[in-house]
Amino acid sequence: MAITDAPRRPKSPISGAAPAPRPTGARVGTSGKTFGIVSAIVLTVFAIIWLIPSLFALKTSLSDNGVAALGAPEILKNWNPTLHSYASLFQAGDIWNWYLASGITSVITAALTVLFASMAAFALSRLKFRGSNLALLAILFGIMIPTQVLIIPIFQELGAVNLLNTYWSVIFPQVPAAIAVFIFKQFFDGIPRELEEAARIDGAGLWKVYWSVIMPLSRPVVAAVVILTFVGVWNNLLLPLFVLSNPNLMTIPVGLATVQGSFGQRYADIQAGALLAALPLIILYLAFQRQIVEGVTGSGLKG
Amino acid sequence: MTAAPALTRRSQAAAPKARRSIGSALARGEGRGAWLFLAPFGLFYIAFLLGPAVWMLISSFFNTSTVRTGLGSFAGFSNYAEMLTRADFWSAMWHTLQFTLYTVPPLVIIAFVFAILTNRVRRGQWFFRLAFFLPYILPSATISLIWLFIFTPGSGLWATAQGWVGITAGSGVLADPKTAMIGIAIATVWWTLGFNFVLYLAGLQEIPRELYEAAAVDGASNWEQIRYITLPLLNRTTTLVILLQIIASLKIFDQVYLMTSGGPGISTQVALGLVTNTGFTDNRLGAASAASVLLLIVIVAIAVIRQLIERAAERKAA
């Protein structure tokens, strides 16, 4: 309602004086331009502030441990970059195991989530069956349940089936992401039915329709769910922190959190480790910027 | 050999009829097919979502412990009574609320302002997206280690910057019980602002340019355009952002665990930290389950409110 009021209010003086619109338009044009420039300046200042923590971590990681221990002024003053911290982390070797654990768990979880969630979404979007409302309700319920809160019973369950300290203990609990089913269902609902009806008349079974008609049309949403699941599993701390206690199996955030204390004053090494944990995600982000941002907005707006 | 041609001939003759029957068989078999498609996800859903939730509810009424297998002895409501009368439970709840109050307003307002400004800038949008959104995809471990170092008492970047503007740095942001939660909140705002920022940018890009152009022609100032066009049209996004943010804040664990482990003392201990401490340090799974159930009730209640608001908005729009 306010929207319709706004333009009308200043309108009356303008329409009263016939030659007025042109100068007014010009004035608005220049003030729009000034506003644009001011916006750009303010934003640039804040963008730089926003980049400082990451850049400071990078600068620290490229300093000598001795310099880093002296504090921020010394780190900023000292211009003598060295890759020593990175080299020593890779030589120590733990980080390779952590990368492996993070990579394996993230990739397998993303693959299983995409396959199972899209299959479930196909049934919910395309097939008529008794209990479909119940299944849909279960999905909506699943979106509302925060899995973090289930850490205690999930730990008990994994212990009961002897899966603690395996990669599966990190993978399995993260597969049933109800939000992924919802994202797939929304996308499938938008695919015209004519395409699969043609395939069905030609005798294609349900699996064929799903696998050869629906899924090839769904590449953008598959990419979004793969990336979001990958990032989510890679970044998860709570679950792997409690289900993995073997240092060789730890994912990279858990490994870092665990050894952080034993690093003591080796601040350059700690910052190098922190950045190495993020490096694959930074590369992923630079490569798939659009998909990641769209995926985040899509899941945010719907979930 | 002779059977082959006969077979082909018969199948050719029966083709149209067979096709029709396959079609109807599919329709009839859809129910079974649908459940087969649902089964893999359903199995994981039951095993790792619904099952644990039900088990948690049950074990919250028992003296379950990590040292024994099974549920343990029946405890009735005593786990709940214990939690609801424990001072550290309420202090953890208060700290969770405190964290929510510190982070939600800046996360909503700053993200909104940044998005409006970015939307106005013609060139270099990619740079602002990068600067504000990149921290969001970093692991909590990375951001915690970065900010832990920035907050180093005395010689850290934060204390140094305080020195430049003439503030005497005290014992350190995270070391002082009065400011530790503020430190965690600052790190969190820096970390997750990008999420709200891209939600707002997406919302802004859906507003047709003609609306602004029409308003500009009519002489509306930039401020008036924001006040009367942008703000009302972003109402839905704002409601969504606030509720998502509240739910995310209630689940806070990582930053606290990594930056202060709930300290100094228990001054930053939050709900999920209390749950994991009770469960894994004190080995009292029943009591921890009761605390989890209480937290779950709060979170689901807010999620339900969100659904209701969404429904109401949709009905109004329709």
pLDDT at A63: 86
- Residue B209 domain-assigned? yes
pLDDT at A299: 66
B113 and B186 share a domain? yes
Residue A3 pLDDT > 60: no
B166 and B275 share a domain? yes
Q: Report the share of chain A in percent with pLDDT over 70.
A: 87
pLDDT at B21: 43
pLDDT at A303: 40
Partner-chain residue, chosen from A156, A178, A296, that has the shortest CB–CB distance to B198: A296
Judge: A176–B227 Cβ closer than 8 Å, yes or no: no
B310 and B240 share a domain? yes
Separation between Cα atoms, residue B239 and residue A236, nearest integer Å: 27
- Residue B72 domain-assigned? no
Judge: B275–A73 Cβ closer than 8 Å, yes or no: no
Where does a domain end: B59, B87, B108?
Answer: B59
Using CA coordinates, name the residue in chain B closest to A269.
B145
Pick the residue with more confidence: A4 or A103? A103
What's the mean pLDDT when you consider all of chain B? 83
What tokens appear for B294 in the block?
A: 């209480």
Partner-chain residue, chosen from A73, A254, A270, that has the shortest CB–CB distance to B160: A73
Whether B44 has its CB under 8 Å from any CB of chain A: the answer is yes
Pick the residue with more confidence: A67 or B41? B41
Separation between Cα atoms, residue B265 and residue A143, nearest integer Å: 35
pLDDT confidence tier of residue A15, bands split at 50, 70 and 90:
very low
Nearest CA-CA partner of B149 in A298, A68, A21, A216: A68
Partner-chain residue, chosen from B45, B114, B295, that has the shortest CB–CB distance to A43: B114
Q: Are A121 and A185 in contact (CB under 8 A)?
A: yes
Judge: A6–B258 Cβ closer than 8 Å, yes or no: no
Pick the residue with more confidence: A197 or B39? B39
Please classify residue B19 by burial: count the beta carbons closer than 10 Å to its beta carbon, then call 0-12 exposed, 13-18 middle and 19+ buried: middle
B143 and B277 share a domain? yes
B191 and B50 share a domain? no
| A5-14, A227-236, B203-212: range with highest mean pLDDT | A227-236
Chain B residues with CB under 8 Å of A56 CB are 146, 150, 157
Judge: A256–B64 Cβ closer than 8 Å, yes or no: no
B196 and B268 share a domain? yes
Please classify residue A51 by burial: count the beta carbons closer than 10 Å to its beta carbon, then call 0-12 exposed, 13-18 middle and 19+ buried: middle
Lowest mean pLDDT of A15-29, A207-221, B110-124, B282-296, name the range.
A15-29
Nearest CA-CA partner of B238 in B63, B62, B109: B109
B51 and B164 share a domain? no
pLDDT at B303: 84
pLDDT at A12: 34
Look-up of token digits 């790190």: B187
What's the mean pLDDT when you consider all of chain A? 83
B114 and B185 share a domain? yes
Chain B residues with CB under 8 Å of A142 CB are 45, 49-50
B133 and B190 share a domain? yes
Range of the domain at B33: 1-59
Partner-chain residue, chosen from A56, A138, A154, that has the shortest CB–CB distance to B150: A56
Residue B253 pLDDT > 70: yes
Judge: A176–B232 Cβ closer than 8 Å, yes or no: no
pLDDT (mean) for B28-51: 89
Separation between Cα atoms, residue B256 and residue A238, nearest integer Å: 12
Cα distance from A125 to chain B (closest Cα, Å)?
10
pLDDT confidence tier of residue B12, bands split at 50, 70 and 90:
very low
Tell me how many domains chain B contains: 2
Question: What is the per-residue pLDDT across B194-252, written as a single tens digit (0 to 9) for each?
Answer: 999 998 988 888 888 888 888 888 888 878 888 888 888 888 888 888 888 888 899 99
Amino acid at A296: V
pLDDT (mean) for A189-211: 87
Chain B residues with CB under 8 Å of A132 CB are 34
- Residue B67 domain-assigned? no
- Residue B69 domain-assigned? no
Chain B residues with CB under 8 Å of A41 CB are none
For residue B124, the tally of other CB atoms under 10 A from its CB is 14
DSSP A138-162: HHHHHHHS-GGGGHHHHHHHHHHTT
Partner-chain residue, chosen from B127, B134, B146, that has the shortest CB–CB distance to A285: B134
- Residue B260 domain-assigned? yes
- Residue B130 domain-assigned? yes
Pick the residue with more confidence: B176 or A301? B176
- The DSSP 8-state label assigned to residue B168 in this structure reads P
Please classify residue B312 by burial: count the beta carbons closer than 10 Å to its beta carbon, then call 0-12 exposed, 13-18 middle and 19+ buried: exposed
Q: Report the share of chain B in percent with pLDDT over 70.
A: 89
Residue A244 pLDDT > 90: yes
Whether B183 has its CB under 8 Å from any CB of chain A: the answer is no
Residue B69 pLDDT > 80: no
Partner-chain residue, chosen from B59, B141, B217, that has the shortest CB–CB distance to A277: B141
| Buried residues in B77-111 as b, exposed as e (16+ CB within 10 A) | eebbebbeeeeebebbbebbbbbbebbbeebbebb
pLDDT at A184: 93
- Residue B71 domain-assigned? no
For residue B73, the tally of other CB atoms under 10 A from its CB is 10
Q: Are B131 and B217 in contact (CB under 8 A)?
A: no
Separation between Cα atoms, residue B314 and residue B27, nearest integer Å: 33
The CATH number covering residue B159 comes to: 1.10.3720.10
B93 and B174 share a domain? yes
- Residue B15 domain-assigned? yes
Cα distance from B259 to chain A (closest Cα, Å)?
10
Separation between Cα atoms, residue B167 and residue B158, nearest integer Å: 11
Q: Is the predicted ipTM greater than 0.85, yes or no?
A: no
Nearest CA-CA partner of B110 in A49, A129, A222, A268: A49
B11 and B160 share a domain? no
B273 and B134 share a domain? yes
pLDDT at A120: 95
